[in-house]
Amino acid sequence: MRAAFVEAGVTGWLHAVDIDSGAEVDSGADHPVVTASVHKLCLLVALHEQAAAGRVDLAERVECAVDGRTAGGTGVAAMLDPVGMSLRDLGYLMMAVSDNAAADVLLSRVGLDEVNAVTGRLGLARTHAVHTFGELLGSLREDAGPGGAAVLAEPHVIARLRALDPGRTNRSTPRDMTRLLAAVWRDEAGTPEHCAAMRRLLGLQVWPHRMASGFPFDDVHVAGKTGSLPTLRNEVGVVEYPDGGRYAVAVFTRAADPAATLPSADAVIGSAARIAVDALR
- The predicted-structure confidence for 82-97, as pLDDT tens digits, reads as follows 999 999 999 999 999 9
pLDDT of residue 148: 85
List all residues 6 or more positions away from 212 whose beta carbon is below 8 Å from its beta carbon: 222, 224, 237, 270
What CA–CA distance (Å, rounded) separates 212 from 216? 7
What CA–CA distance (Å, rounded) separates 53 from 187? 16
Identify the helix (H) or strand (E) that includes residue 236.
strand 232-240
Which pTM was predicted?
0.96
What CA–CA distance (Å, rounded) separates 129 from 169? 7
Q: Where are the domains of the chain?
A: 2-280
Identify the helix (H) or strand (E) that includes residue 121.
helix 112-121
Q: Over its length of 281 residues, how does the chain's per-residue pLDDT go in tens digits?
A: 999 999 999 999 999 999 999 999 999 999 999 999 999 999 999 999 999 999 999 999 999 999 999 999 999 999 999 999 999 999 999 999 999 999 999 999 999 999 999 999 999 999 999 999 999 999 999 999 988 888 888 888 999 999 999 999 999 999 999 999 999 999 999 999 999 999 999 999 999 999 999 999 999 999 999 999 999 999 999 999 999 999 999 999 999 999 999 999 999 999 999 999 999 99
pLDDT of residue 149: 82
CATH architecture of the domain with range 2-280: 3-Layer(aba) Sandwich (3.40)
Closest CA to 233 of 214, 201, 206, 259: 259
Average pLDDT over the chain reads 97
Helix, coil or strand: residue 203: helix
Measure Cα distances from 206 to 79, 101, 231, 249, 265 in Å: 18, 17, 21, 18, 18
pLDDT of residue 33: 98
- Which region holds residue 79: left if phi is over 0, alpha if psi is between -120 and 50, else beta? beta
- Phi and psi at 216, nearest 5°, equal -85, 60
- The predicted-structure confidence for 106-164, as pLDDT tens digits, reads as follows 999 999 999 999 999 999 999 999 999 999 999 999 999 988 888 888 888 999 999 99
